[in-house]
Amino acid sequence: MKTIRVGLGARAYPIHFVEGLVSEGTARGFAELDAAIGDSVFVVTNETVSGLYSVNIQALFGGRGLSTYVMPDGESHKTMDQVLAIVGCLLEGGYTRDTTVVAVGGGVVGDVAGFAAAIYQRGISVVQIPTTLLAQVDSSVGGKTAVNHPLGKNMMGAFHQPNAVLIDVTTLRTLSAREYAAGLAEIVKHAALADQDYLVWLENHVAEIVERETSALSVMIAWSCRIKAEIVAEDETERGRRALLNFGHTFGHAIETLSGYERVLHGEAVAIGMVMAADLSCRLGMIDQQVRDRIARLLTAFGLPVAPEKGFDSVAFRSAMGRDKKATSEGLRLIVLESLGNAVITADYGEDNLRDTLAAYLT
């Protein structure tokens, strides 16, 4: 069983790779996680994952005072209403601070369950078991939990680190092609902002990745988790370098917000956002167009969009960007590429440059 540690001192935790944990319901390698789980478990999952794996989840946790809350599917349900519903179930069930919330699902499940755990009785334990690629390489690691507001994505939340993250790469076999591709956007993001060698490896293994070969998935997911774990350990609450992990997200979140969190998947929006951020980087003279186009080609090879649908109003788009969490009293900050594998945060992007990028992609 491969393990990567997120080094946060007293809040450090492992990312365990346990093949078959969810897809087969096997407890192989699970004994050493007993301390992280405890005897009282409240599982949060969604309709799709419950339909696929409810028997396996019961086999894993059935002897631990198990109750399950099943969320509806989709980003549109990443809301405070779902958090309150989970809290209500915890209260009605008499769950105490000794309880562990176990999130089994994608990023929406992990965020909603994690936020509920963060606020229930001022904070109870949570374990993340991500079943989508996007969740395995991004949202399950780092302790960010949040729900959306109609005016902005992830505007209500808390930092609440899990006791552990358990990754079963074989769950990726059941993902739709679209959901799988959405996770690959975060993979490309890690390479583009932090590791040029990783991007070269991705370019050289496109076929194996698209075919979901287990050996390639294991290397890729572990590589991304190591990048994220190292950045989170350095900057847990996103006061500095961790903001680089939002490369493409300011543009992407605007797309999601203006689309009502329904038409565009998060990874699809991030893919488009990365190309737009790379375009802005070109206009700032940091990278040349070949770098932007190289990123776009890799995203396209993974089946991702690289430009938004037409019809977005540029004024509304810029306004949505301004509600980004990285904005300060001095204005918007953006993540741009100084070079491939080296992202930086800047407030000195020039409104004219941003306007030109928006015009190029929105009209």
pLDDT one-digit tens code per residue, 195-243: 999 999 999 999 999 999 999 999 999 999 999 999 999 999 888 899 9
pLDDT computed for residue 113 by the predictor: 98
Provide the token pair at 313. Answer: 């109003």
Q: How far apart are the first and last CA of the chain?
A: 50
The domain 2-174 having CATH identifier 3.40.50.1970: the answer here is: yes
Q: Are 277 and 334 in contact, with CB atoms under 8 Å apart? A: yes
Q: Are 132 and 186 in contact (CB under 8 A)?
A: no
More confident residue, 153 or 104: 104
Long-range contacts of the stretch 328-334 (C-beta < 8 A, 24+) = 332/250, 333/243, 334/250, 334/277, 334/280
CATH 3.40.50.1970 in the chain is located at: 2-174
**C-alpha angle 244/246/252, rounded to 5°?**
150
Average pLDDT over residues 179-186: 96
Residues recognised as catalytic: 122, 144, 186, 228, 238, 242, 246, 249, 253, 266
Q: How many CA atoms lie within 13 A of 132 on its CB side?
A: 33
**Which residues is 128 bridged to in the sheet?**
103, 165
Q: What is 178-362's CATH topology?
A: Dehydroquinate synthase-like, alpha domain (1.20.1090)
Q: Is residue 165 a contact partner of residue 128, using CB atoms and an 8 Å limit?
A: yes
Q: Measure the CA–CA gap between 48 and 26, rounded to whole angstroms.
A: 20
Is residue 324 very low, low, confident or very high in pLDDT (cuts 50, 70, 90)?
Answer: confident
Phi, psi of 300 (to 5 degrees): -65, -40
Cα–Cα separations (whole angstroms), residue 206 to 176, 202, 210, 306: 18, 6, 6, 17
pTM summary value = 0.91
Q: Which residue has the higher pLDDT, 92 or 18?
A: 92
Averaged pLDDT for residues 312-337 = 86
- The identity of residue 204, as a single letter, is N
Q: Is the pLDDT of residue 27 over 70?
A: no
Domain with CATH 1.20.1090.10 in the chain: 178-362
Q: How confident is the model at residue 293 (pLDDT cuts 50, 70, 90)?
A: very high
Q: How confident is the model at residue 202, as a pLDDT?
A: 98
**pLDDT of res. 33:** 60
